[in-house]
Amino acid sequence: MSREAFEREEAIFTSIAQNHANLKYHSPIETLINRSNFMSTNSADNLVYSGSLLTVLNELNASLKFPNEENSLKYKIFHPARVIRALIDFKINHPENLGIHQYILDAIKINLAIFQDNSSATKDLEDFTKKIYNNDSDLLNIPIQQKQDMATWLGTDPELSYKAALNVAFQLLGEDIFFIALAHGGTIAGMDVFLRYLELSGNSNSDFYVARFSRNKHQDKQLQLDEIELDYIREKSKGKHIVVFEEDSVKHRTYQDASNYLKSIFSETDIIAICNAELGHFTPNN
């Protein structure tokens, strides 16, 4: 190991130790599981939902304004991923609607802020909702149906997310990353891993994105990225490592295939694939 590499490794170890002792990001998932048994089958019922983008946005807005209401914490955790889910599905089903990409980027930014308890999140979400209502109100009718998925629930365990973030921080020495969470199941855990990575490593120049690769529910043959998204990733990942994340996997299949697909396009970019949990005896629903 060169002296430069040794010093960089020593610096990231020191940064992780210091940041770990003074964490500012507190995973909302941890707050939820402290109230119940994370491993219980009933806990996976938190993933069940039936509604529309309108109902999700209304409930999420209310949860931020009235955080002490009974369902506010659950909405804060699960609804951000449902907003992203609805917009991504719409993008795939309506490739002619090019404006959807900005909504996806806006939703990702706001939802990360919600997970961080950022003071701007309430106003930003309200403005985002008004923007859709005033300019593309048809989007509010997008249906959102989500079933119980024990595999996804177990893969969302914040302890696993912490370990994943720590492993990436050590492996990449806290360098800049472009993090891609595989939807739909990996969105919640992906945000948790990404935000933990930023804090543990002290990194402030990394990016987060979500792309659908759903073999079971949607029979996706490959990562669902269009040319606009590939151009976005190409630009934003310059000088960064691409990290492909899945919350749970069977025989490494989905996240490794996603990684290989991206390697075929971004051949000069370092790409790693990570997973919170290998659960070969489960059949994921997402």
DSSP string, 67-136: TTSTTHHHHHHHHHHHHHHHHHHHHHH-TT-TTHHHHHHHHHHHHHHHHTT-TTHHHHHHHHHHHHHHH-
Question: What are the boundaries of each domain within the chain?
Answer: 3-24+151-278, 49-146
Residues in Cβ contact with 225 at an 8 Å cutoff, skipping those fewer than 6 apart: 211, 233
Q: What mean pLDDT comes out for the span 247-265?
A: 85
Confidence of residue 135 (pLDDT cuts 50, 70, 90): very high
Instruction: Check residue 282 and give its pLDDT.
Output: 43
Mean pLDDT rounded to a whole number for the chain? 89
DSSP 53: H
Q: Would you tell me the crossing angle of helices 3-21 and 187-201 to the nearest 10 degrees?
A: 110
| Contact in structure between 198 and 206 (CB atoms under 8 Å) | yes
Give the Cα separation of 15 and 156 in Å (integer).
Answer: 26
Instruction: Check residue 17 and give its pLDDT.
Output: 66
Which of 269, 28, 272, 260 is CA-nearest to residue 170? 272
Tokens 């940064």: give the residue: 15
| Contact in structure between 115 and 80 (CB atoms under 8 Å) | yes
H helix intervals, 136-266: 150-155, 158-172, 187-201, 227-236, 253-265
Q: How far is CA 106 from CA 54, 102, 111, 168, 213, in A?
A: 16, 6, 9, 26, 21
Using one digit for the tens of pLDDT, what is the confidence trace for 7-46? 666 777 677 666 665 678 889 998 887 765 555 545 778 8
Using one digit for the tens of pLDDT, what is the confidence trace for 111-127? 999 999 999 999 999 99
Using one digit for the tens of pLDDT, what is the confidence trace for 216-241? 777 898 999 999 999 999 999 999 99
Using one digit for the tens of pLDDT, what is the confidence trace for 73-94? 999 999 999 999 999 999 999 9
Give the Cα separation of 113 and 124 in Å (integer).
Answer: 9
Give the Cα separation of 237 and 270 in Å (integer).
Answer: 10
Q: What mean pLDDT comes out for the span 157-179?
A: 93
Q: Give the tokens for residue 198.
A: 């930023």
| Contact in structure between 181 and 273 (CB atoms under 8 Å) | no
Give the Cα separation of 207 and 278 in Å (integer).
Answer: 25
Q: What mean pLDDT comes out for the span 199-216?
A: 92
Confidence of residue 283 (pLDDT cuts 50, 70, 90): very low
- CATH class, range 3-24+151-278: alpha beta
* Strands 177-183, 207-212: pairing kind: parallel
Instruction: Check residue 21 and give its pLDDT.
Output: 59
Instruction: Check residue 262 and give its pLDDT.
Output: 97
Using one digit for the tens of pLDDT, what is the confidence trace for 91-101? 999 999 999 99
Look at residue 281 and tell me whether its pLDDT is greater than 50.
no
> Which position has the higher pLDDT, 208 or 14?
208
Instruction: Check residue 32 and give its pLDDT.
Output: 84
Give the Cα separation of 243 and 270 in Å (integer).
Answer: 9
Confidence of residue 252 (pLDDT cuts 50, 70, 90): low
| Contact in structure between 251 and 186 (CB atoms under 8 Å) | no
